[in-house]
Structure 1
Amino acid sequence: MKRTIYDADHEAFRATIRDFIASEVVPDFPQWEKDRQAPREFFRKLGELGVLGFGIPEEYGGAGEASFKYMAVIIEETNRAGVTFGHFNVNTGVVLPYLLRLANEEQRQRWLPGLASGDLLLAIAMTEPGTGSDLAGIRTSARRDGDHYVLNGTKTFITGGVNSELVVVVCRTSPPEPGDRRAGLSLLVVEQGTPGFDVGRKLDKIGQKSLEAVELSFADVRVPVANLLGEEGKAFGYLSANLPRERLTIGVGATAAAQTAIDITTAYVKDRQLFGKHLADFQNTKFELAACAAEVEAAWAMVDRGIELDDSGELGAADAAKIKLFCTETAGRVIDRCLQLFGGYGYILEYQIARLYTDIRVQRIFGGTSEVMKTIIAKSLGL
């Protein structure tokens, strides 16, 4: 089915991104995977390209208001090429919206120009060794001491933790209220190099090798009160408001990955010969890819509707949960079935299908597990 959400401007942008990927990413990407992160200077190239400033007002050096469709184009094109822009999706798609919504004027002047240029990068530190989806169980704490907070705790699985100059830390600034475990959480922006702030080891993941995931620790880190983002104790509400966009982003990526799997598998089976004929000539091959194509078509329909709802400000928690659940589960099934058609070659990492297989698994976990998505959807049904 023809997709109708993109116009000529979006397609011109797509062509620019495709050329950029071919020249600036593809040649060096194998080294990024070995290093388990994109080089820091790459993000300044993204700044020069103008894609780090989506939503940042022009007076701060950004691109101004921009539809999520431009982010979606980047996600689609990086998946098509089998690469990433490092932790760009986290920096620009997940964390930047917090600053755009919550930063006061002094903070905007201090941070936004650097974020638009690529001189500053963002990460967010939510997950802790003992708390995953249960954000209300966060133990990292910050107590007020004059014009500073004193921050203590540990975070894990932090994407972009090495390259980012600013880390938005979710911490507890006051005890939970009776009957409300979510109260008392705040957002503090911690600057790289602050005494007591330590970036620990890179975690060795089974997939998404070019995205570093690190442990962070905070030992009596003094964070200026001026780095409080939004109001003290209101973080859970802020996180809930931003999660639909994050889950839409994951849904776009999962669907694009599944589409890529179909595309490369279709090309492979047309070329691969078995028992004297092409693999594409077997009925099982036709049926498998036909079924995969139908499922991914449905996922694109959900994604496109979600993008339209995001543009109009109507994307709700349950809508985003449905998109993430359906698209990530679909991508897992589709990529597995496509890998099967490669036979033994599908298990070899030099083949893109193998990397898609290992990369896709985490998308049913981060941003809220599939089980959490089902819980959100069930609540929307009154269950």
Structure 2
Amino acid sequence: MDFDLPEETRQLQRMVRDFASNEIAPRAAQWSENAEFPTHVFTKLGELGLMGMLVPEEYGGAGSDMVSYVAVMEELGVADQSVASSWNAHSTIATLPLLTYGTPEQKQRWLTPLARGEAIGAFGLTEPGAGSDAAGVTTTARRADGGWRINGAKTFITNAGTDISQGVTLLATTGHDENGRKRFATFYVPTDTPGYSCGRNLKKLGWHAMDTRELLFEDCWIPEDHLIGEEGGGLRQFLAVLDRGRISVAALGISLARAALRLAITHANGRQQFGRPIANFQAVAHKIADIGTEYEAARWLVYRAAWLADQGRPYSKEAAMAKLFASEVANRAASQALQIHGGYGFVRESEISRFFADAKILEIGEGTSEIQRNVIAKELLGQR
């Protein structure tokens, strides 16, 4: 068994580490404090070929595997969780439905600019009354005038309000089948479509530099060719691409745990109390040992799930396990690292306070911890 990353992946990782250290980390605190979306960073990520990592080269992407994607996510997330989470939403749930179910024409028109980094993508699923219950969406799409008329609202949507957004991929209900069950479909709505608008940028506990808004659709008409995949298959299409999204959020979790470990070690070695560094106190050293151990355990869960995906083997259970464990490890790591910082950690100017605030959403987004446990239990019990 070889646990080393391929040399090509390590080279990519080093390149992204240098970029993140020079272009992201020094200004991350400023972006967070000002709730500023750093557009220029995503433009540069596009120039580096990183905005379409999971998209084939024929559509402007890099055609990378999931293991390489996770390695890049680690480096971006260590520098700043807001940038990494925005990049993740763009790279997975915003682009994968187009890649997987779009026609060649749709891919050329919408996916290629996203993969090249000329625009950033968004996916509209969550609604005020539909989160974990994806089938509970009430946004409607009805056939009208040779196309579709959309009405409804989405909330907590990433990237849609940025100045480089070209549109949003969304899930809507198209009616009911003969048994009274909802039918769903996926649509692409360009930013300049009449009737489509974005609300204010929401004030969040963390991820302050990530654009998050409510989206409104009021008699929003789109042509027939904006339907992605088959009508009636929208929910199934969304669920089919969800597992890779879970791996990517799990990668966010291990990046945060790694950042927390680094900050805890640095502070523990530099902070003096009672005439010696606090790293010399067993209570502090044990906290660091726990963070490091859990980070390593989470890291290999995440990379194994990514490797299974690359091998074309089943990985739903492993993706859920990785997302569950890595997100909870990230929260414990951030909490323990802040405890090691003491009062300094409670001050917003401290770097650990930003990571602490960013950690909680990892247990919620892309499926809550409770949903992950449901998925895992059903797989283990043979109920899925």
Q: Taking structure 1 as the reference length, what is the TM-score of the superposition? A: 0.93
Q: Distance in 2 between matches of 1:22 and 1:94?
A: 27
Deviation at 1:53, TM superposition (A): 2.4
Match of 1:298? 297
Deviation at 1:35, TM superposition (A): 4.6
In structure 2, the CA distance between the partners of 1:324 and 1:55, relative to structure 1 (3 Å rule), is: closer
The alignment of Structure 1 onto Structure 2 pairs a total of residues equal to 379
Alignment of 1:208-247 (within 5 A): 208-247=207-246
Alignment of 1:123-202 (within 5 A): 123-163=122-162, 164-175=165-176, 178=179, 180=181, 183-202=182-201
1:30-67 CA-partner distances (Å, limit 9, x unpaired): 4432453424343332221111122433333332x211
1:113-163 CA-partner distances (Å, limit 9, x unpaired): 312322232100000011111111110001001321000000100011112
Unpaired stretches in structure 1, ≥5 consecutive residues: none
What percentage of aligned pairs have identical amino acids? 35
Match of 1:74? 72
Q: Distance in 1 between matches of 2:177 and 2:357?
A: 38
Deviation at 1:81, TM superposition (A): 2.2
Match of 1:318? 317
The one-letter amino acid of 1:216's match is L
In structure 2, the CA distance between the partners of 1:3 and 1:334, relative to structure 1 (3 Å rule), is: farther
Any conservation in 2 of the 1:244–1:317 contact (CA below 8 Å)? yes
Match of 1:264? 263
The one-letter amino acid of 1:75's match is M
Match of 1:368? 367
Name whichever of 279-288 and 14-23 sits farther off.
14-23
Cα RMSD for the two superposed structures:
1.9
Q: Distance in 1 between matches of 2:261 and 2:25?
A: 21
Any conservation in 2 of the 1:44–1:117 contact (CA below 8 Å)? no
Unpaired stretches in structure 2, ≥5 consecutive residues: none
Any conservation in 1 of the 2:187–2:228 contact (CA below 8 Å)? yes
Q: Distance in 1 between matches of 2:177 and 2:272?
A: 64
Deviation at 1:176, TM superposition (A): 5.7
Q: Distance in 2 between matches of 1:53 and 1:251?
A: 19
Q: Taking structure 2 as the reference length, what is the TM-score of the superposition? A: 0.93
| 3-state SS of paired residue (1:188) | strand
Any conservation in 2 of the 1:82–1:352 contact (CA below 8 Å)? no
Matched, 1:90 2:83: no
1:8-31 CA-partner distances (Å, limit 9, x unpaired): 211211221122223332344344
Deviation at 1:228, TM superposition (A): 0.5
